[in-house]
Structure 1
Amino acid sequence: MPIVATAGRAMLRDYGGSGLPVIFIPSLINPPFILDLTAQNSLLRWLARKGVRPLLVDWGAPEPADRDQDIAAHVEHLLLPLIDALGERPALAGYCLGGTMALAAAQLRDVAGLALIATPWQFAGFPPSARADMASLWASAAPACEPLGLMPMEMLQSGFWRLDPGRTVRKFETFAALDPAGAEAAAFIALEDWANGGAPLTLAAAREAFEDLFAANKPGLGQWRVGGALIDPSRLTCPAIDIVSLNDRIVPAASAANLPHRIDLRAGHVGMIVGRGARTALWEPLAAWLSQLQCEC
């Protein structure tokens, strides 16, 4: 989609539509196009037809020279300049770790509203076994990442596989039985291309994710600083909503920020965005909230 603003390697892509501009902030992990998976399965294209002007942050690909750019620096030096460059007062919608970053941006800028989608904040809410796996993954990966200045996506993907190895095998067994020329096979391939793709993390972002977020739970304890400010959900001054799945294996419900306005749904971490029931479970409630937000603006 057309690029309407840049900040360093990051870009803001415009999906058209009219009405309230809403900047969608994806995770640094995996490519941003989960929000625009295919022309037929795209939250952003659908919203553009529902009185919203969606814009997508594309983080670009970091280079080894970016090794010292941690997650907070991504907010300060990439996300906030993109918001400022838009020239309008947008709402923010963050998915997964992108929501964690969006919450910080919403505290540091005057925005029309904030929607968190499957967003971790209380990292102590992850099961102890998952946090131990993350610590083990980082301990084994860090010595190789240090000279690269980056953490390759393949290292991160191995961590996701470890959440449920049997499920990974089963889904490929199911795929083997599909018609290779059918729509189901095409949808499976599109999703796997997304899941196994993406730019690396900078070394500092990886270290902050594993050490400050998962291990130390700095956001949940009110100790995470961005732009010199302690980020605290209670300090938000804009309307905000927390969309949480009660059976999300990637970002468990117990890790949510628990904003006063919350919608609980039952869908997988990725299924809520692109699954068969995504439109009913997530797209329509999000569109309704954004529509109400636009009326209030």
Structure 2
Amino acid sequence: MGRRTLLLDWGEAKARAELDVAGHIEELLLPLLRSIGKPPALIGYCLGGTMALAAANLAKCERVVTLAAPWHFDHYPDASRRALDDMWRHAQAASRELGALPMEVLQASFWSLAPERTVQKFAEFGRLDPASPEAARFVELEDWANEGEPLPLPAARELIEDIFGRDLPGAGQWEVGGRTVTERLSVPLLNLTAERDQIAPAITVAAGETIGIQSGHVGMIVGSARARLHEALKAFLTPCR
């Protein structure tokens, strides 16, 4: 595609301990975008896509792609929102002591969105030959999914109470960098959704061009559906478009 690709590493949680979600955009993402020298194309996965949309309100961008990224959080099933709120009520005391929400707790909240699927995938794993490539891939993927940095406490609070709880993005009330951010950009926007996604259901996506991919939340990135994802990205990002 003739593009230079940069991957943002947010760094260790302890170095970001005072930042909420908006603060990560203001203090880390926006300075990086402005340092590049020309408007970049932004691609964000899951909450990273939500943050990319917000950043595109505040920094010059060529175009934006979201991958399985929610914007309308009140479109989540009520049961899912209640489960997340319940998790937060039980985890707040420990999180205050630690200064962060452990990844294990956040991952458990993801499992609660589709508990039957969680049980099913481990049951299927139990039927695999432990020495098979499929078993090795399963273990590698689970290690990747569960080894992330904890979420700094201010970010966890904003994510659960304001973004999920009050749906500030979808309600048009989310303020980042002193400005209210919107899903309606002045540059091209493509939303790629996973049709079997329980973590970021397609119904939660921002307004704009949307392409659905037959996969789950993680499968669209690392599973067989990634070929379809790559095709859509190439078509949207090719400079001659």
Q: TM-score, normalised by structure 2?
A: 0.94
Distance between the aligned counterparts of 1:61 and 1:98, measured in 2? Answer: 16
How far residue 102 of structure 1 moved from its aligned partner, in angstroms, is 0.2
CA shift, 1:164, in A, is: 2.6
* Structure 2 counterpart of 1:255: 204
Determine the C-alpha separation between the residues in 2 that align with 1:167 and 1:263: 24
Structure with higher strand content: 1
Shift of 1:198: 0.5
Structure 1: unaligned runs, 5 residues or longer: 1-49
Is 1:53 the counterpart of 2:1? The answer is no
After superposition, residues 142-157 of structure 1 pair within 5 angstroms as: 142-157=92-107
Name the residue aligned to 1:167: 117
Name the residue aligned to 1:178. Answer: 128
- 2:66 corresponds to 1:121: no
d(CA) in 1 for partners of 2:120, 2:192: 28
1:200 is matched by which residue type in structure 2?
P
Q: Which of the numbers 101, 104, 114 marks the counterpart of 2:54? A: 104
Residue of structure 2 in register with 1:140 after alignment: 90
Q: Is the 8 A contact 2:214 2:225 kept in 1?
A: no
Which of structures 1 and 2 has the larger relative contact order (alpha carbons within 8 angstroms, sep 6+)?
Answer: 2
- Unpaired runs of 5+ residues, structure 2, are none
2:237 alignment counterpart? 290
SS of the equivalent of 1:54 reads coil
Counterpart position of 1:270: 218
Q: Which moved more, 1:164-173 or 1:206-215?
A: 164-173
| Post-superposition CA distance 1:31-64 (Å, at most 9, x none) | xxxxxxxxxxxxxxxxxxx53322111111111x
Q: How many residues are treated as equivalent by the alignment?
A: 241
Select which of 190, 194, 215 maps to 1:245: 194
Whole-angstrom CA distance in 1 between matches of 2:180 and 2:225 = 37
1:257 is displaced (CA, Å) by 0.8
Superposition pairs of residues 163-242 of structure 1, within 5 angstroms: 163-234=113-184, 236-242=185-191
**1:246, distance to aligned residue in structure 2 (A):** 2.9
Structure 1 SS opposite 2:5: strand
2:161 partner SS: helix
Contact 2:73-2:167 at 8 Å conserved across structures: yes
CA contact (8 A) 1:66 1:149 kept: no
Matched with 1:27 is: none
> Greater CA deviation, 108-117 or 83-92?
83-92
Give me the identity figure in percent.
48
Taking structure 1 as the reference length, what is the TM-score of the superposition? Answer: 0.77
Cα offset, 1:266, TM superposition: 2.2
State whether residues 74 and 167 of structure 2, in contact with CA within 8 Å, keep that contact through their aligned partners in structure 1: yes
Distance 2:117 2:197 in 1: 14
Q: Which moved more, 1:78-87 or 1:101-110?
A: 78-87
1:76 deviation in Å? 0.4
RMSD: 1.5
Which secondary structure state, in structure 2, belongs to the residue aligned with residue 110 of structure 1? coil
5 Å matches for 1:15-30?
Answer: none
- Measured in 2, the distance between the counterparts of 1:206 and 1:239 equals 30
